[in-house]
Amino acid sequence: MTRPLLLTLLSLVVAGTAFAAGPAPQATSPTQPLGGKAAEAKPAPGQPRLISWEELVPKDWDPMKELKGMDLSKLDDSDPRANELLMKLQEVSNNAPTNPALNGVEVKIPGFIVPLEENKGEITEFLLVPYFGACIHTPPPPANQILHVRPKQGAKFRAMDTVWVTGKLQTVRNDSMMGVSGYQVTADSVTKYTGSPK
């Protein structure tokens, strides 16, 4: 049976395992934000490291382990096990582990803006997410797929605009009304996504 609660549950599972469930910037994919080109292992001196969303997730993390052996088609909204499982998966998503190897690294990453604070028409604080609609039209991605961004200067963008964010990445957790982020970036720059990292 397809019910609203089960659809929400499945959305959380898909977001946690696929790292991104919707369209990404043109000519890219969620795990290949460079349009199929591999991210640079080492940046040029003085340049930020270009990273993919996939790198933010520890390789050994398995958000699906809570569902192994379960037949979700047998659950409906009136089954207390469905709500219990939904709460458990939300907790797993909110506490998704981060990649400690990226702590303190200067990075550049593309994504979509979810505004948190604005001042005089400029966004002064936002979440960066890997796919369109995350945190607004769909459940939030796992915490290790949300970056809490504070630009050094206000950014003139709108909700769901696609941007490049450049700055120091830190493994700092933040709870906001739009979702739980596992990373924080003090952004040196927030620029329009053009498909090219230059």
Residues 95-116 pLDDT 10s: 999 999 999 999 999 999 999 9
Model confidence at 81, pLDDT cuts 50, 70, 90, reads confident
Give Rg (Cα) of the chain: 17
Q: Mean per-residue pLDDT for 132-155?
A: 91
38-80 pLDDT, tens digit per residue, is 444 566 777 899 999 999 999 998 888 767 777 777 777 788 8
Sorted by where each begins, the domain ranges of the chain are 1-198
pLDDT score recorded for residue 119: 93
pLDDT score recorded for residue 12: 52
pLDDT score recorded for residue 85: 80
**DSSP summary character for residue 59:** T
Average model confidence (pLDDT) across the chain? 81
Residue 131's SS3 state is: coil
- The CATH homologous superfamily to which domain 1-198 belongs is Protein of unknown function (DUF3299) (2.40.50.870)
Q: C-alpha distances in angstroms, 86 versus 2, 27, 67, 71, 137? A: 15, 34, 11, 14, 18
Alpha-helix runs per DSSP H in the chain: 4-18, 80-94
**Cα separation, 168 vs 140, whole angstroms:** 23
Say how many residues make up the chain: 198
Question: Which residue type is seen at 120?
Answer: K
